[in-house]
Amino acid sequence: GAGVSQSPRYKVAKRGQDVALRCDPISGHVSLFWYQQALGQGPEFLTYFQNEAQLDKSGLPSDRFFAERPEGSVSTLKIQRTQQEDSAVYLCASSFEYNSPLHFGNGTRLTVT
Amino acid sequence: QKEVEQDPGPLSVPEGAIVSLNCTYSNSAFQYFMWYRQYSRKGPELLMYTYSSGNKEDGRFTAQVDKSSKYISLFIRDSQPSDSATYLCAITQGGSEKLVFGKGTKLTVNP
């Protein structure tokens, strides 16, 4: 496909469960970002990869959140022991190179019950 | 004070109206300014991308940046019902470093 693909589109988890969210960036895009968007809010930065290197993880809210991009393409955001406050839309974005605009996927909507 | 302030609205206008959307920011280190459009249950879609102060036009959309006032605007001319969406301003120090988003303004254009 031509765009950033995220799966699943919707995820319901019971409090305390672990979840894994997947992002397939646009082919050839070097930079990959994860954002969290709470209801009625703008997206907030979580973490950034350049190829397989995680260059910035300053936005991860706690050590329950972990992201990886082992081969520099597909990325996974993992949340351990989910809490209700983790309920949000998780957006992935990629860009071709530094200083080029970001292209966003449609997100994964996570609901923790 | 948040780094980027944006009035969340909602804003409701008749078809054909001129729409003005605005954001203010606090850090003069921010150099790149973007406007994204987000339809319900979709990801943000880039509309406008500017670096310098002044105006940038693309069809019915005009982005305006005033770095001295730390104020950015998006104008939509001849608004259409298909423009109904949430509009997010986003700023960054580097071109594609982490973006700082406003809250978004929800716009409805009524036919």
pLDDT in tens, B13-38: 999 999 999 999 998 888 889 999 99
CA A21 to CA A14: how far, in whole Å?
15
Q: B63 vs chain A: nearest CA distance in angstroms?
A: 16
Q: Do A41 and B103 touch (CB under 8 A)?
A: yes
Could you say which of A41, A95, A104 has the minimum Cβ distance to residue B43? A104
Nearest to B96 among A99, A107, A109 (CB): A99
Q: How far is A66 from chain B (nearest CA, A)?
A: 18
In a 10 Å sphere around its CB, with 0-12 CB exposed, 13-18 middle and 19+ buried, how is residue A13 labelled?
A: middle
Parts of chain B with a pLDDT under 50 = none
pLDDT of residue A1: 53
Residue B95's pLDDT is what?
52
Q: What is the pLDDT, as a whole number, of residue B50? A: 87
Q: Say what the pLDDT of residue B1 is.
A: 67
Tell me the mean pLDDT per 10 residues along chain A, length 113: 91 98 96 96 95 94 97 97 98 86 94 98
What pLDDT, on the 0 to 100 scale, is given for residue A29? 94
